[in-house]
Structure 1
């Protein structure tokens, strides 16, 4: 298989047929003032202790 048909298509493509789009920044970077402010307090300041699951060993029959 050759990429010649694809290369020819790319070379002859007319970018003017594309529609104009407006991009909106979704992940806004913090400003200098925002980065200096203290962060919000943690929801769980005390570490949570994981509980052990119940034993899966069954008694002999």
Structure 2
């Protein structure tokens, strides 16, 4: 059985999430998910990854 990983990037579009110190939550979560997906794909096999949305849109 193939393992499945689903990543929820959270906020997007007009909904930025928390904002502070010049940072938006949506920007950080998007970068973290993209990094994690790339890392896993580069170092491991035997799974399928999907994400809640691509780009800066509200899911």
TM-score past 0.5 threshold: no
TM-score (normalised: structure 1): 0.23
Structure scoring higher RCO (CA < 8 A, sep ≥ 6) equals 2
Report which of the two structures shows the higher radius of gyration computed on alpha carbons.
1
- Give the structure with the higher percent strand: 2
- Give the structure with the higher percent helix: 2
